[in-house]
Structure 1
Amino acid sequence: MLSNRLIEYAEKKYAERLPYLETVRAGLEEGFSRCTPEEAALMRFFYGTMPLRDAGEYDFRVFLSFVRHGLWLREHVAWCAALPEDIFVNHVLYYRINSEDISENRAFFYEQLKDRLTGKELWKSPRQAVIEINYWCAEHATYQASDMRTASPMTVYRSGKGRCGEESTFMVTALRSVGIPARQVYTPRWAHCDDNHAWVEVWAEGRWYFLGACEPEEVLNKGWFSHASSRALLVHSRNFSDFTGEEAEECIGREGVTWFYNNTSVYARTRRLTVAVKDREGKAVKDALVSFEILNMGEYCSVASLSTDEKGEVHLTAGLGDFHVRAQAGGYFGEQLVSGARQERAEIVLAAAVAQDNWIRDVWEPKEITAPEDYPMNPGAVTPEQKQRKRLRLAAANKMREERIRSFYREEAAARYPEEKELLRIAAGNFDEVLRFLEKDGNPHRKALLHSLSAKDYLDVRAAVLEDALCGAEKVRGAWPEEIYREYLLCPRIYYEELTAYHSFIDGYFTEAEKEAFREDPEKLWAYIEKEISYEPALDYRTICATPVGCLTLKQGNETSRKILFAAACRTLGIPARLNRVTAEPEYYTGTQFRTPGKSVGQEKADAAPGNTDASLVLQVEDGSKWIYYQTWTIGKLDGLQFVTLDYEGLRFGGNCLELSLEPGIYRLITTSRMPNGNQHAAERTFQLADGERREISMSLREGSLEDMLVNNELPDFEVTDADGKRCPAARLTAGGSAVLCFLEEGAEPTEHVLNELMQQAGDWNAVEAKLIFIVRDAEALANATLARTLEKIPCVSVYFDPEGETPEPIARRMYVDPEKLPLLVVTKHGMTGIYASSGYNVGSVDLMLKILSR
C-alpha cells in the first residue's frame, strides 16, 4: 500500500531526528515492534516530521490511532484509495492541522459521520459529502472569540464553539476522518481590517475547493469571506512534511518543521514581487532575512520570512497592496514600504547598523498604507432555492446545537455552587469534569482555583490537573499574601500552554538537594534550564510551546517553553512566579517585588505601573478615548534586529496622559488611523530611552478626509416585505439615485441613539434627495415609541420588514463593518452600490451620512 519512496523518506527523516529523541527512543522502538510494517513506516514518518515537542507531549498510542485509521480508510474508502500518496499522507493521515491540542479523535468523528453519508448515498460524491459534513459541523459548533490557545477538535465538539482557527481545525478533522483530504487555509493578517481569518480547503475530484468551516453553503468555493479574501496580501496553507508530488504548489518557505504554500492567487489578484538586498557598497547580500510585514492591529506583523538567494533576491506572489519590508543580515538592516499594486521590484540597502544609534531619528515619520481593492474573484452564485434550503437547514442546525449544549448543564447540581454556576454553564460538555473537582471536599481553595482560570480552560481542563495544582499549592498556603498565593501559586495557568499535572511531575523529577538549592536561589533554577533544556529551531513549530512536563521529558524547548517551565518549577517549589503580562519575561517573587532571572538586581520588569523600572515614557494626546492599544497605537522594543511589540492590551489613557515604566533601550511607537476603505494614515517614531530617563512624547492621529470615508462595493440583492406582505427586491427600492438603508433593532440603546440623532436633524433629512429606508423585523417594531416619533418627524421614511433577520450580516460583511452589531446604516448610490456603512452606534455617523449625500 505504501510506496518505496514514502518508506525511504520516513526512514531518512526518522534517522535524522533520532539524536533528539534519546530520552524516549526506547519506548518508540518498543512501540514499533508491535506495529505492522506499514504502521511502523508511517509512525516513523510522524516522528521524523512532527514538531519535536509533540514527541514529549503525547503517548505513542495517540499517534498510532491516526495511523491505523488512515490505513483503514486507504483500504476501504474508494475516494481515499484513489488519492495521490502525497495528498493522502499530508492531508488525510497527518495528525496535526495547526496548533491544536492532540488527542485520539479520527475514529470518533468517523462514527458520527458514516451513517449520515451512507443514508444520503454520498460515499460516491465527495463534493456533496463535503457540503453535508459542513452542515454536521454547524450542528455541533459555531463561532465564539476566545484567547490564542487552540483547543482540540474534541473540545470544540464538546463545547459547541470555537474561534475560526478552531472551527477550521474541527472541520478538517471531520473531513479527514472519512478520508477526504482537507487543510486549513489562513491569512495571517488582513490588509483592510484589524483581524485575520482561517477557513478550509478540500481536495475533491483532482483539485482544491474552499469553504467556510461550520458555515455551510449549498455550493463549494463560496463563503462570507470571499470578498474579504480578494483584498488579502497573503493566503497560505501549511504542511508538516516536504513529501510532495510532481505538481507541488508555490512554497513560500520553511519555518522550523513547517512548509508554507502560497494560495493567494486563488483568492485575490496578485503580482510576483522581487526584493533585492544590497550592502552599503551596492553588492548583493546572500542569506539575508527578508520579512514581509502587514500593518495590522497597530503593529507590523511578519507574515512571510524569506532568505535571499545567490543574487541577493527573494520573490513572493502577493496581493496588490502595501507591505512593510524589513531586511537584515550581519548586524545591519534596512526597511521600506513596498507596493504590490505599483511595484514589481524593490531594493533594500542594509545601511543601518543595529550596534550604532545614528539611524534613530526620534521624529514622527508619516506612512500611507494602501490596502488591496475589492475584486470579485470568487462570486459563488447560488439560486433562490439554494438560499432557502440553506436558511432552513442552518436554522435547524443552530437549534440542534443549542439544545445539545444546554443539555450538559444540570441545574440541580450547579445550584449547590451559586458562585460557580456561570463557569459550570460555560464548561458545557466538560461540566462533569469541573463538577468532580468541586465536589471532592469542602476546601475553599477549590473555588478560588477555578476562578483563577481562563474561560477557555473550563472547556477542557481535567479534574486530575486541577487536583495536582491544588495539592501542590496547599503545601505553602499561608506562606505568602493571599492575592500572591492565588494568582502565582494556586493557579496552574501560566501562559497559553496546555494544562498538565506539572506539580507532581516536577516534584519527582528533581532530587531533594536540587529542589532545596533552587528554593534558596531561583537564579540557579534558571541557570539549570538554560544549560539543560536545549532548543533546535529547525525542529520547532513556534506557534506552539512545550508544556513543563514535555520540556523536561525531551529536555527540549523553545524560548517561551523554557520561560513557562521556570514559572511552573518555581510554583512547584513554593515560589510565586509568572510571565510578565507586558513583556512575557519570566519573573519570580522575592517577597517584595518580582524579579527576572538572569538580570541584575534592580532590573525588575514593568507591570504597566510607573516607578518599578529604570526609565519612563510619558505619552501625551488630545483625546485619550481615541487611543486603543492594538488598534490605534502600539509600542515595540528592539530585541536583536527585530522590534517586539509590548503587550499593553486593555491599557487606557487616564485623560490625556499615560505613563509607561520601561527598561532602557530602543523603542518604536506606531500610530494608525484606518479608513473605511481599508487604507491607513500611519506614523512611526523610533527613539532611545536611557537609564533613569523620563521622556515625554506627543502623539496624534491623522484624520481622514470625507473622500477617505467612501468605498464602491456592489451589494448582494435581497428581499424585504412591505406592509401588505409583498416581497420587494432591495435593488428596486434603491433604484434611481441615492438611498440610506437602516437595519434597526428597536428598543436597543444603539438604535435609540441613531433614531434620536435622525430626529434632531429631521429638517435636513426631509429635504435630502435620497430615499430613507428603515428595515425592522416585523410590524410590532412600529409600536416602539422612539421609532414611532421618528416616523412622525421624518414622514419620507419607507418601512420594510425582514422577518428572518438574516439580511444585515451579508450586507455588513460586504461593507467591511462589524456584522454582529445593529443598527446597520448603509448609504448607496445608483442602486446597490454601497459607498458608506456604519454598524452599532458611532457618534457623528448620522451627520456624516448627511454630508455624504450633500456632496
Structure 2
Amino acid sequence: MKTQIQLLFVPILSVMIVSCSEPHFLKEETYRNQVIQDFEQKQQALPNGDLFAIFSNKDLTVSEREALMFLYAYMPIGDVTDYPGIYYLENFRLSERTRGEMPWGKVVPDKLYRHFVLPIRVNNENLDDSRKLFYGELKDRVKNLSMKEAILEVNHWCHEKVVYRPSDARTSSPLASVKTAYGRCGEESTFTVAALRAVGIPARQVYTPRWAHTDDNHAWVEAWADGQWYFFGACEPEAVLNLGWFNAPASRGMLMHTKVFGRYNGPEEIMLETPNYTEINVIDNYAPTAKALVTVTDTDGKPVVGVKVDFKVYNYAEFYTVATKYTDTNGQTSLTAGKGDMLVWASKDGQFGYSKLSFGKEDALVLALDKKEGEAYTLDLDIVPPVEGANLPEVTPEQRAANDLRLAKEDSIRNAYVGTMMTEERAKAALSTFKLNESEIDKMVKMLVASRGNYQTLIDFLKNAAGEGKEDLAIELLRVLSAKDWRDVSIEVLKDHYQNAPDPQKVSLGTSVEIINPRVANEMLTPYRNFLRNAIPQSDAETFVKDPTRLVEWCKKEIKIDNDLNSQRIPISPEGVWKARVADEKSRDIFFVAMARTLGIPAWIDEVTGKVQYVDMNPFMENGKQINLKEGRTLDVNFNASTPVQASTGLLYATYHPIPSLSDPKYYSHFTLSKYKDGTFRLLNYDEGDVDMGGGATWSNLLKKGIRLDAGYYMLVSGTRMASGAVLSQVSFFNVEPEKTTTVDLVMRESKDQVQVIGNFNSESLYHPIGTESGNNLTSERCGTVQGDTKEVISQSILQACGRGYFVVAVLGVGQEPTNHALRDIAALGSEFEKWGRKMVFLFPSEEQYKKFRPAEFQGLPSTIIYGIDIDNSIQKQIAESMKLSNQTILPMFIIADTFNRVVFVSQGYTIGLGEQLMKVIHGL
C-alpha cells in the first residue's frame, strides 16, 4: 500500500514541476510544502476505499491540484468518505469564477481567500450545493456594491430566507435552513457564512461557547471588508455593521472563538491546533480582556509538562470547558479572556487539580495536581462574570427607519413562502386519499405540519408505502424520527430504511425504536442499510446475529481509531466507516449501532451516559447453565474490554430542603451530575424537556426518587444565578458503590442580601392599551402619532392598570432572540406568575411591532399580562435613564416596581432564566 501512495504522488508532483508556467494556488513555497506533507500523511492514514481518486484526473491544473490537496489535507474523515472529489473540484472552480467576477476578488488576500472563502464546511452541518445556488441569487444584488454594503445586502437576503427559532443541537445544512425558513443561531450563522463565501467575501462563524452571565451560548458572523473584520447577527440585518442585539452580552463574554479550516497563522491568539482546524481567540473584538499565566505542578511543586488545562465557565449548572490548552516544558500555559471568573481544571495520568481564576484581578495561578479519584467532599464557589460595557456604533434615525422598512418587506417575502407550507387543514386534505385510521391521520398531520418545506418528501414516501399496503410501517418509521429529521430527510433515506429495516411487528421487544430508527446520535441520516446488507458476507451476518460479541470483536479488529483526524467529531456515515476502516470513537460507536440494527439486533447509544448498548436476545450461560430470557438482557459495549458486560450499579438519592423561590430544582438550570473518567468529569445528559419550555429532569423526578448509576466517582454541581449574572455554586464529590445506596445533599445557596431598592419608576407613566378606542372609560388625551396616524388614541397609566402594589413592566423587541427567550422563560413559570396575581404590562415600541407579535408561539404566558404600546418610547427611555442603562435601544427591558415608584429589579437584553430571576425577587418582596 505504501508503494501505491508513493506512485500516486508522482503525477501530482511532476505536474507541479513540469507546469511551472501555471499559477499556483498555494503561492508561498513554505506553506505549500507543509500542505503537501500534511496531505501525504492524510493519504497514508486513509489507505482504503480509493478515497483520493480525484487526483488521478490528469486534466487538473496545478492550481486545482493544490486547492484540492489543501482541502483534503485538513478536512475531517467524513468529508473525505462521504462526498466525491468532483464535489470539491466543482466548488473550487465556482469559487475561482466568483473571485474573477466580483469586484473585491483581487482585494481579498490569498490567505483569507484560502481559509475563509474556499472551505465549504462552516460547522458540523451536512454539506450541500448551496454555493452554486446562493451565488446565482446573490451576484446581481451585490456586484455593484462596496464590500461593506455587500455584507449588509447579503444579510438582508438571508433574512428573507431564514428567521430565528430554537431547535435541537443538530445543525441543518444551508439549503435545509432555506427550506425550513428558520433555524437556531448556529444554523443562521452557518447559512449566512455560506452565503457570504458564495459571493467571495471572507466570512467566519464566531461562537461564545457559553455565556458567563446567563445560561446559554450564541453564534454570529464576522465578515472581512477592506482590511478589517466586522461582526453582525446572522439573518438579523442592522443598518450598520458591528451592531447586533448581542453587543451588550458580548461585552460580558469570557471567550469568543472561531475554528479556522486548516493550518492558520493570523494575528489572533491561537487557542488550539488540530489536524483539521486552528482555533483562534477573538474575544478582544468584543470585550475588555486580561491575560493570565497558569503553572501546573506535581505535589512536590515541580512543573509538569503536557498537562491538559481546561478553562471552564459556569453555565447550564455545570462548569463547561470553553478552552483547552496544554502546558509547555515549564509546566505553563496562558489564556486571554474577559474580566471575570473561570474554573481552571488541570489533569494528567489520572491526577487532577482545580482552582478559580479571576481574570483582570489575577495575572497568574499556580495549580497542583493534588486531587485523586475517590475523595469525597463539598465546597462553595462564588462566580462573578464580567461587567457590561457595550460599545455601540452610531445609527441615525433615518438609517434605522429605512432598515425597519426593509425588514418588514423581507418578513413578507419569507412569510409568503411559509404560507405555502402545510397547515392542519391542508395536511388532512392531502391525507384524504390514503386509507388511514383516525390515529394515523393525527400522527401524519403533526408530521406534515412540522416538516415545513419538506412536506412533499413525506407525502411521496407515504404514497410509495401505500402502494405496497404498508402505510403503518411507513408511519412508524417517520414517527421515530425527530422534528428536524422531518424537515430535511430525503426520500432516498426513507426508502432505504423502510425497505431494509425489520418489520416492527416482528420485533419481540416492547418497542421497535432500537431497530428501525435510522438515527443513532446527531449524525447525518444516510441510506446505509442496503449498502451494509450487501457488504456484510452472509456467513458473518449470521455469526453476528447469533453472537453479537463477534460484531464487537469485528469492529475492534477492522476499524482503526484515529480521533485526531476527526477533531470536531463530525460523524462519519456508516458507509464511510466501512470504506475507510478508520474512524473516531464517536463514528465507530454510531457504525456499530447501525450495523447491529441492520442485522436486527436492538442497539443504541445511551442518551444519558453515552455508552453503547445492545440487547442480547440469545440464550446465554450463567454459572455453567444455559438461561433463556424472553426479552434478552442489556449489555454495555466496551471496545477496550474483551467482552461486553453488565455494569455494576448503585442507587443515588439527594435530599433537598426547598427555598422560597424554588420548590423543585431543574437539571441544567440548577444542578447537574458528572462521572469521572481519565482525570475529568463527563456530564450525564438527562432529558432537558422542550426547547426553552418546561418539562425535563428535575430533583423530584430524578434524585428524590433515586436513580441507578454505574459505580464510580461523581460530581454534583448546583448553582443559584443572581440577577447580576453572578452565581452561588456548590460542588460535591462522592462515590457510588456497587449495589449500595448513596445519599447526598442538593443545596441551592441563597444570597444573604435582601431585595433592595435600586432605582425609581413613575407609576403614573402613560401607555396605549391594545384594543382601546375613544369612548372607553379610560383617561383620554392626545398621545402623539404612530407611523403618521393622527387619530386620537387612549392612554392609561401603569397605576390605573395595575392598582396598588408591585408590578412588572417590560418593553419587548418582537421577533428578536433575547425577547423570545424571555417570553418562553416566563411562559414556563406561567402558573407561578398566576399565583402571584399581580399585573404585568408588556409594551411594544410601536403598533407595527405589536402586529408582528405571535403569542401562540409562547404557550403558557400568564393571563395577568396586559399588552400595550409605549407612546413615543417614553417608558423605554425612562427605564434606561432612571436605571442608568448604558444604551436605551437594547431590548427587552424588564423591571419590577411598585406604586411608590421604587424599582427592585431590572434586566435588559439577553438573559436566560429571566422567569426564575423575576420569581426569586417576587418571593423576596
Query: Under TM normalisation by the shorter chain, which class is it?
Result: 0.7 to 0.9
Give the CA deviation at 1:308.
Answer: 0.9
The 5 Å alignment of 1:54-453 reads 54-118=79-143, 121-122=144-145, 125-244=146-265, 247-354=266-373, 357=374, 360=375, 362-376=376-390, 378-409=391-422, 411=427, 412-416=429-433, 418-419=441-442, 420-442=444-466, 443=470, 444-453=472-481
8 Å CA contact retained: 2:349, 2:679: no
Provide the rounded CA distance (Å) in 2 between the counterparts of 1:164 and 1:565.
29
8 Å CA contact retained: 1:773, 1:800: no
State the SS of the aligned residue for 2:335. Answer: strand
Larger displacement relative to structure 2 (518-527 or 594-603): 594-603
- Structure 1 unaligned residues grouped into runs of 5+: 606-612, 761-771, 782-793
CA change 1:30–1:347 in 2 (3 A) is closer
Residue 635 of structure 1: aligned partner: 673
Provide the rounded CA distance (Å) in 2 between the counterparts of 1:126 and 1:254.
30
Provide the rounded CA distance (Å) in 2 between the counterparts of 1:8 and 1:822.
53
State the SS of the aligned residue for 1:648. Answer: coil
AA of the residue aligned to 2:784: K
After superposition, the CA RMSD in angstroms is 3.9
Residue 471 of structure 1: aligned partner: 499
State the SS of the aligned residue for 1:456. Answer: helix
List per-residue Cα deviations over 1:406-438 (Å, max 9, x = no partner).
214365425556321232122222222221111
Provide the rounded CA distance (Å) in 2 between the counterparts of 1:587 and 1:438.
31
Give the CA deviation at 1:160.
Answer: 0.8
State the SS of the aligned residue for 2:582. Answer: coil
Task: Give the alignment partner of residue 559 of structure 2, picking from 533, 548, 560.
Answer: 533
Provide the rounded CA distance (Å) in 2 between the counterparts of 1:744 and 1:269.
29
List per-residue Cα deviations over 1:643-688 (Å, max 9, x = no partner).
1111112223447823010111111111111111111111111111
State the SS of the aligned residue for 1:192. Answer: coil
Provide the rounded CA distance (Å) in 1 between the counterparts of 2:759 and 2:381.
24
Residue 620 of structure 1: aligned partner: 655
The 5 Å alignment of 1:776-815 reads 801=870
Provide the rounded CA distance (Å) in 2 between the counterparts of 1:828 and 1:372.
30
List per-residue Cα deviations over 1:771-806 (Å, max 9, x = no partner).
x98746779x9xxxxxxxxxxxx9xx9985469999
AA of the residue aligned to 1:394: L
State the SS of the aligned residue for 2:237. Answer: coil
State the identity as a percent: 29
Larger displacement relative to structure 2 (15-24 or 210-219): 15-24
AA of the residue aligned to 1:595: L
8 Å CA contact retained: 1:264, 1:319: yes
State the SS of the aligned residue for 1:578. Answer: strand
State the SS of the aligned residue for 2:495. Answer: helix
The 5 Å alignment of 1:837-848 reads 837=907, 845=918, 848=921
Residue 60 of structure 2: aligned partner: 35
List per-residue Cα deviations over 1:490-538 (Å, max 9, x = no partner).
1111111111111111112221111111111111111211222112233
Provide the rounded CA distance (Å) in 2 between the counterparts of 1:844 and 1:689.
34
List per-residue Cα deviations over 1:190-235 (Å, max 9, x = no partner).
1111110000000001010000000000000000011001111110
8 Å CA contact retained: 2:896, 2:903: no
AA of the residue aligned to 2:540: E
CA change 1:712–1:416 in 2 (3 A) is farther
Task: Give the alignment partner of residue 484 of structure 1, picking from 511, 536, 541.
Answer: 511
Task: Give the alignment partner of residue 597 of structure 2, picking from 548, 571, 586.
Answer: 571
Task: Give the alignment partner of residue 726 of structure 1, picking from 771, 774, 784.
Answer: 784
List per-residue Cα deviations over 1:318-355 (Å, max 9, x = no partner).
0111111111223322111111131100000112344x
8 Å CA contact retained: 2:757, 2:902: no
Give the CA deviation at 1:450.
Answer: 0.5
8 Å CA contact retained: 2:563, 2:585: no
CA change 1:126–1:367 in 2 (3 A) is same
1:695 to 2:733 alignment:
no
8 Å CA contact retained: 1:415, 1:421: no
8 Å CA contact retained: 1:635, 1:669: yes
Residue 22 of structure 1: aligned partner: 47
State the SS of the aligned residue for 1:484. Answer: coil
CA change 1:588–1:713 in 2 (3 A) is farther
1:11 to 2:28 alignment:
no
AA of the residue aligned to 1:501: P
CA change 1:832–1:215 in 2 (3 A) is farther
AA of the residue aligned to 1:288: V
Provide the rounded CA distance (Å) in 1 between the counterparts of 2:760 and 2:580.
54
State the SS of the aligned residue for 1:685. Answer: strand
Residue 606 of structure 2: aligned partner: 580
Give the CA deviation at 1:363.
Answer: 3.0
AA of the residue aligned to 1:185: V
The 5 Å alignment of 1:589-668 reads 589-590=615-616, 591-598=631-638, 603-604=645-646, 614-623=649-658, 625-649=663-687, 650-654=696-700, 657-668=704-715
Give the CA deviation at 1:16.
Answer: 1.9
Give the CA deviation at 1:483.
Answer: 3.9
- Give TM-score scaled by structure 1 length: 0.85
AA of the residue aligned to 2:117: V
CA change 1:701–1:11 in 2 (3 A) is same
8 Å CA contact retained: 1:625, 1:653: no
- Structure 2 unaligned residues grouped into runs of 5+: 1-22, 435-440, 617-630, 688-695, 769-779, 787-796, 799-804, 813-822, 851-863
State the SS of the aligned residue for 2:136. Answer: helix
AA of the residue aligned to 2:585: E
Larger displacement relative to structure 2 (676-685 or 537-546): 537-546
Task: Give the alignment partner of residue 483 of structure 2, picking from 455, 478, 481.
Answer: 455
AA of the residue aligned to 1:674: R
State the SS of the aligned residue for 2:105. Answer: helix
List per-residue Cα deviations over 1:122-171 (Å, max 9, x = no partner).
2xx01011111111101100112111111111111111111111100100
State the SS of the aligned residue for 1:324. Answer: strand
Q: How many residues align?
A: 790
Residue 809 of structure 2: aligned partner: 742
AA of the residue aligned to 2:452: A
AA of the residue aligned to 1:454: S
List per-residue Cα deviations over 1:92-149 (Å, max 9, x = no partner).
111111111112221110011122225xx32xx0101111111110110011211111
Provide the rounded CA distance (Å) in 2 between the counterparts of 1:601 and 1:615.
22
Give the CA deviation at 1:289.
Answer: 1.2
CA change 1:134–1:440 in 2 (3 A) is same
Larger displacement relative to structure 2 (195-204 or 6-15): 6-15
AA of the residue aligned to 2:681: F
Give the CA deviation at 1:300.
Answer: 1.6
